[in-house]
Structure 1
Amino acid sequence: MFLKRGYTDFVFDVSDVLITWPSDLTSPIDRKALRSYLVTRSWFQYESGKISKDQCLQDLATKFSHDAGSIDNAWRQVAAALRPNEEMVALIKEIRQMTGGTARILGAFNVSKPDYEFFRSRLDVDWTIFDAVFTSHELDIRLPNPGFFKRVIAKEEWKVNPHDTVFVGHDSDDVVTARSFGMHGVLLADFKEARRELRNIVGDPVKRGWEYLRANAGRLACEADRPGVSIMENFGQLLILEATGDRSLVQLMEPPRYWNYFQGKGILTHENFPDDLDTTSLGLVTLKPPKEHCDSLMDEMLTLLTEDGLPYTYFDRDIPRLDPVVTVNVLHLFYTHGRGHELPGALAFVRSLLENRAYIDGTRYYFRECFLFFVARLLQASDDRHLHDTLEDLLRERVKELIGALGDAIALAFRVVACASVGVPNEIDMRNLLPMQCEDGGWEIGYIYRYGISGMKIGSRGYATAMAIKAIEELDKLRAKQGVEDR
């Protein structure tokens, strides 16, 4: 669902949104049956004043084989028992506050004039939360008829722009009709999900994301796709630090020389997990130790290459494991220090991976979007002409191919950032990324890598949030840049 910023009007279906029905009725007519009676032509004619209530009740009695008195009694029970939905009222007040009081709160209500006057006078509802309420008897047409929205939009005194309007209702027919006018429709099938969506609409996603990160500083661990497995490891912490630039968010202790994926013993793998070139490269680029230290490690890495010039994953020479993303990240380190020309075989290998889409199902340790993001990250590390000539145009083609594909929060954020790095405004994946922000301001978990043997996926809400923030900011920068260029 597309979420944009800057909605000005919020239209709430008053029925079952700000008022709640009794759980049951002490009459021969149950709640479900009565609901079906209230959407008949006879009831609408009563609402619009075309027939009397007595005539309406008689028509319904004939149609549904109930006596008119029972139907009237059931409706009186409902009318007497209706109470405000306090959670919705609180949410509407929150929307006003989050928008600085600029949002207009409007109501839409299928209701007769007598019943509306009864509700306004009897219900314990703060009607001042609405700037206006549009009723079926006033407009002479009922939801979900498109004419209801046409007449609301046509009201000159309100100037409702449907593309700047959010409609919230419990009935899918009403929501679909609202969407047909270009409104953003929120279906109240689940209140918590609807509240999350509305908060995402009115809140600043970057501000809320940062609030989540700061509230959980030092506790932004990775999680596995199985219950109870939490890993405070180095690679994810370094990624969060690189994305945010805020050391206070992460737990890190810089090693004297080699970086290890784990902080301490390996978890659900060998306890003595070997130090690796991948985490070491990321650590050196992110923390920027003295050049002499970096050069010494790069010199050692050059002794850990295959005959084709590809870097092995581990410093342990007895584990000759390869992974394309590790190759990209080692290249990143070398190009950062002006030594990328020392790994021509690695660069040629990365190009062949792009040319042949070899990454499409991911690699041993990483998912496909990780590969493309790290290639984009590599290009941003250096203005080396040969590097860009070799990879940039090809990367642009490949990231465009995946726009709109399914993905979790990290995959979508990676695609948006990678696209922005090569001048492609990826609006589609941003539309899918924004609704993944949770009520606490953080994004849903996204997965970064997986264990090579078990395939267990490792992800992080912290890094998903950091990358979502970065994606929003990078796309905004590109929009601004292209806007200037277009003029």
Structure 2
Amino acid sequence: MAIRALISDFGGVLTTPLLGSFLAFQDQTGIPAETLGRAMQRIAERDGEHPLFELERGRLAEAEFLGLLREELEPDLGHEPELHRFSEIYFEALDPNEPMINLMRDLKARGYRMALLTNNVREWEPLWRAMLPVDEIFEVVVDSAFAGIRKPDPEIYELTLERLGGGIGPAECLFVDDVEDNIATARNLGMRAVHFRSNEQAISEIEAALG
């Protein structure tokens, strides 16, 4: 069955790798990424939900998320950490991935239906939208923080298909993401998928899938 629609991730596909943002946060705050990860895991074990995932589902406000982290990190660090610049540092270290953005623009011009499916943060919407011409390229944008569900939950993929409309089914979609779990869900639903690892690899595989 021919591909009619492309569904793309945002961070790590249409931007430089997200790891750079977390390393920048580590460099500027002195808080090791491992320490941050352990703090979030302890919160998850205590509260039953991972705080980052709850942030991306829109169930936690950014200020609440940072407050939880601040309290959890204080015993490890011996002082209350300054986290108020988290989003500023994160986005300062992130750049648009122009080759992939140009490909998406070209696919739109070639007549493919285009959707953006992102796990994101409600308060960050103006920041990430400012990085690329979202509405010029994508007719559908599904943001986990507003949908209340996040990848790899199948429901958010199904919601994206529903919003694309036009009777487009999973087999007519090509999904692009940099996270293996997200790719696995897309394939389980019957979508074709490209696991983004580099521009050269992803662009080649996307063009091959589109025929």
Unmatched segments (≥5 aa) in structure 2? none
After superposition, the Cα gap between the structure-2 partners of 1:147 and 1:157, relative to the gap in structure 1 and judged at 3 Å, is same
Question: Paired residue for 1:117, among 116, 121, 126?
Answer: 126
Question: Paired residue for 1:177, among 185, 192, 204?
Answer: 185
1:137, distance to aligned residue in structure 2 (A): 1.7
CA shift digits 1:340-377 (9 cap, x unpaired)? xxxxxxxxxxxxxxxxxxxxxxxxxxxxxxxxxxxxxx
Unmatched segments (≥5 aa) in structure 1? 204-487
Q: Secondary structure at the match of 1:167?
A: strand
Cross-structure match for 2:199: 191
Q: Secondary structure at the match of 1:19?
A: coil
Task: Report the Cα distance in structure 2 between the residues aligned to 1:139 and 1:18, rounded to whole angstroms.
Answer: 21
Task: Report the Cα distance in structure 2 between the residues aligned to 1:133 and 1:91, rounded to whole angstroms.
Answer: 17
For 1:60, the aligned partner's letter is L
For 2:14, the aligned partner's letter is L
Cross-structure match for 1:129: 137
1:190, distance to aligned residue in structure 2 (A): 3.3
Task: Report the Cα distance in structure 2 between the residues aligned to 1:166 and 1:52, rounded to whole angstroms.
Answer: 32
Q: Secondary structure at the match of 1:44?
A: helix
1:35, distance to aligned residue in structure 2 (A): 7.6
Question: Paired residue for 1:79, among 85, 91, 96?
Answer: 91
For 2:105, the aligned partner's letter is K
Q: Secondary structure at the match of 1:84?
A: coil
Task: Report the Cα distance in structure 2 between the residues aligned to 1:199 and 1:85, rounded to whole angstroms.
Answer: 17
Q: Secondary structure at the match of 1:83?
A: coil
Are 1:50 and 2:52 matched, yes or no? no
Show the 5 A alignment for 1:400-415. none
Answer yes or no: is the 8 Å Cα contact 1:27–1:73 preserved in 2.
no
Task: Report the Cα distance in structure 2 between the residues aligned to 1:141 and 1:90, rounded to whole angstroms.
Answer: 29
Q: Secondary structure at the match of 1:29?
A: coil
1:60, distance to aligned residue in structure 2 (A): 2.4
Are 1:10 and 2:28 matched, yes or no? no
Task: Report the Cα distance in structure 2 between the residues aligned to 1:136 and 1:114, rounded to whole angstroms.
Answer: 12
Answer yes or no: is the 8 Å Cα contact 1:34–1:71 preserved in 2.
no
CA shift digits 1:265-292 (9 cap, x unpaired)? xxxxxxxxxxxxxxxxxxxxxxxxxxxx
Q: Secondary structure at the match of 1:46?
A: helix
After superposition, the Cα gap between the structure-2 partners of 1:47 and 1:102, relative to the gap in structure 1 and judged at 3 Å, is same
Q: Secondary structure at the match of 2:101?
A: helix
1:32, distance to aligned residue in structure 2 (A): 7.0
Q: Secondary structure at the match of 1:185?
A: strand
For 1:152, the aligned partner's letter is T
Compute the RMSD of aligned alpha carbons. 2.9
1:144, distance to aligned residue in structure 2 (A): 1.1
1:175, distance to aligned residue in structure 2 (A): 0.2
Task: Report the Cα distance in structure 2 between the residues aligned to 1:116 and 1:158, rounded to whole angstroms.
Answer: 27
Task: Report the Cα distance in structure 2 between the residues aligned to 1:34 and 1:185, rounded to whole angstroms.
Answer: 31
After superposition, the Cα gap between the structure-2 partners of 1:194 and 1:49, relative to the gap in structure 1 and judged at 3 Å, is closer
After superposition, the Cα gap between the structure-2 partners of 1:15 and 1:160, relative to the gap in structure 1 and judged at 3 Å, is farther
Show the 5 A alignment for 1:245-394. none
Calculate the TM-score normalised by the size of structure 2: 0.77
Q: Secondary structure at the match of 1:43?
A: helix
Cross-structure match for 2:68: 59
After superposition, the Cα gap between the structure-2 partners of 1:63 and 1:34, relative to the gap in structure 1 and judged at 3 Å, is closer
Task: Report the Cα distance in structure 2 between the residues aligned to 1:15 and 1:9, rounded to whole angstroms.
Answer: 20
Count of aligned pairs: 194
Are 1:200 and 2:208 matched, yes or no? yes
Task: Report the Cα distance in structure 2 between the residues aligned to 1:96 and 1:54, rounded to whole angstroms.
Answer: 37
After superposition, the Cα gap between the structure-2 partners of 1:161 and 1:118, relative to the gap in structure 1 and judged at 3 Å, is same
Question: Paired residue for 2:108, among 80, 85, 96?
Answer: 96
User: Percent same amino acid among aligned pairs?
Assistant: 22
After superposition, the Cα gap between the structure-2 partners of 1:153 and 1:105, relative to the gap in structure 1 and judged at 3 Å, is closer
After superposition, the Cα gap between the structure-2 partners of 1:168 and 1:33, relative to the gap in structure 1 and judged at 3 Å, is farther
CA shift digits 1:295-319 (9 cap, x unpaired)? xxxxxxxxxxxxxxxxxxxxxxxxx
1:102, distance to aligned residue in structure 2 (A): 1.8
Cross-structure match for 2:172: 164
Answer yes or no: is the 8 Å Cα contact 2:58–2:146 preserved in 1.
no
Higher relative contact order (CA 8 A, sep 6+): 2
Task: Report the Cα distance in structure 1 between the residues aligned to 2:144 and 2:171, rounded to whole angstroms.
Answer: 22
1:167, distance to aligned residue in structure 2 (A): 0.5
Answer yes or no: is the 8 Å Cα contact 2:62–2:123 preserved in 1.
no
Answer yes or no: is the 8 Å Cα contact 2:62–2:121 preserved in 1.
no
